[in-house]
Amino acid sequence: MVTEIFPLRYVPVEELENMLLSVFNIDRVYSDRRLNRLVIQAPQGQMKDVQNMIEAMDVNDSRLAKIQAFQNFLYRIYMFEIPSKDKGNKSFSMILQTSAQLPSTKLLGVAAEKGIQISDFLVSNEERDESDQQVEFLIQGKAPSNESIKQMVEGIAESRIKELKWDDNETFTRGIEAAQYSQLPEQVQKHIKKFLGEDIETVGYWFGSSSVPGEIEAPIGPWMLRLGLNAESDRELDLRVKVEAAEQMSNFDRRLGRERSNEILSNTIGAKVGKPIIIGYNRESYGTRKMGAMVIVPEADIIQLEKN
């Protein structure tokens, strides 16, 4: 039985340790992770074969080098949209429970009196018992305030709000300088202006890094960001990005098609340091459509590079 020390230049010791134990009848293998060395105890007749395998495996793999470089990627992800031109009104979605005898025209008339603009109006088509005198309406549109919604409901007999949601444009990104449109490279700003115009606001912002391969799941604005990273190509990093809205739980979901998808955008792109990525999207928002763009800025993670 002999003992040899093998310093490794390229391959992590834990990768070769498992391989050697499965291939050879080695008595003991010690991993020195601090200096990336293997200490091997094996029969003298096998040691030469062990040495040959280590030399064959411990090579400068260009793909491995690329993966290690990808580990030093930092991502800034922005989501921009065109703000509403109607500054006096806010988008809302409401489920109103009221008398089954109420004419739809009566409800629409009361809404108009209170300055409420209705863009979507659906009546629940679920089967009801004859004794059930209540029906549910899904109303989506714009209203000046919560008070105007309250006044509309008070103007309709036997009515109550079952669910009310507001599209709150006031997000934390307004107070973060790094999240602003002005932080993008000038050429990217020109492209965004070309697609969306001059008046643009940030509705979501995220930054961070990930291992390769790896996945990230994190909030971005009011939505959920899913980022998948893989180095399947020798040319660049494969980046899979998806943004989804929160699950909808009302009785109207099936009629609105929400059970099929709550996806805002989805794409797979090749990412390179210093080359921003722009993905346009068009989403439904409280009965209207909103145009937007996601911008992904891959850049070198200086902190990780300094550590290495």
Q: Half-sphere exposure (CA, 13 Å, Cβ side) for 234?
A: 3
Q: Check residue 54 and give left, alpha or beta (phi > 0: left; psi -120 to 50: alpha).
A: alpha
The domain in which residue 38 lies consists of 2-60
Nearest to 23 by CA among 58, 61, 49, 56: 49
Highest average pLDDT, of 17-21, 35-39, 73-77, 292-296, comes from: 292-296
pLDDT band at 279 (very low <50, low <70, confident <90, very high): very high
Task: Tell whether 28 and 106 lie within a shared domain.
Answer: no
Task: Tell whether 32 and 105 lie within a shared domain.
Answer: no
**Residue 228: inside a domain, yes or no?**
yes
Task: Tell whether 199 and 278 lie within a shared domain.
Answer: yes
> Can you give the pLDDT at residue 278?
93
Can you tell me the mean pLDDT for 270-283? 84
Pairing of strands 214-220, 201-208: unpaired
| Domains in the chain, number | 3
State what percent of residues in the chain have pLDDT above 70.
Answer: 77
Q: What's the pTM?
A: 0.62
Task: Tell whether 194 and 263 lie within a shared domain.
Answer: yes
Task: Tell whether 126 and 234 lie within a shared domain.
Answer: no
CB within 8 A of 242, min separation 6: which ones?
225, 226, 227, 263, 265, 266, 267
- Quote the crossing angle between the two packed helices 13-23 and 44-57, to the nearest 10°: 140
Q: Which residue has the tokens 């700003």?
A: 189
**Residue 65: inside a domain, yes or no?**
no
Q: What is the CATH number of the domain that holds 150?
A: 3.30.70.260
User: Cβ(214)–Cβ(242) under 8 Å?
Assistant: no
Task: Tell whether 96 and 194 lie within a shared domain.
Answer: no
For 41-90, the pLDDT digits (tens) are 888 878 888 888 888 888 776 555 555 555 557 889 999 988 777 667 78
Task: Tell whether 16 and 142 lie within a shared domain.
Answer: no
For 98-148, the pLDDT digits (tens) are 876 777 778 788 888 888 888 877 777 555 555 567 788 888 888 888 888
Choose one of 135, 166, 197: the last residue of a domain. Answer: 166
**Residue 224: inside a domain, yes or no?**
yes
Task: Tell whether 182 and 78 lie within a shared domain.
Answer: yes
Q: How many residues does the chain have?
A: 308
Task: Tell whether 186 and 241 lie within a shared domain.
Answer: yes
Whether omega before 213 lies within 30 degrees of 0, making that bond cis, reads yes
> Can you give the pLDDT at residue 296?
92
> Can you give the pLDDT at residue 259?
47
Mean model confidence pLDDT for the chain: 78
Task: Tell whether 162 and 174 lie within a shared domain.
Answer: no
CB within 8 A of 251, min separation 6: which ones?
95, 124, 126, 136
> Can you give the pLDDT at residue 80?
92
Q: What is the CATH number of the domain that holds 49?
A: 3.30.1370.120
Task: Tell whether 206 and 249 lie within a shared domain.
Answer: yes
Task: Tell whether 74 and 207 lie within a shared domain.
Answer: yes
> Can you give the pLDDT at residue 260?
45
User: Cβ(139)–Cβ(94) under 8 Å?
Assistant: yes
- From CA 6, how far away is CA 55, in angstroms rounded? 9
Is residue 198 over pLDDT 90? no
Q: Which residue has the tokens 């079952």?
A: 162
> Can you give the pLDDT at residue 221?
86
> Can you give the pLDDT at residue 71?
58
Choose one of 138, 166, 194: the last residue of a domain. Answer: 166
> Can you give the pLDDT at residue 293?
93
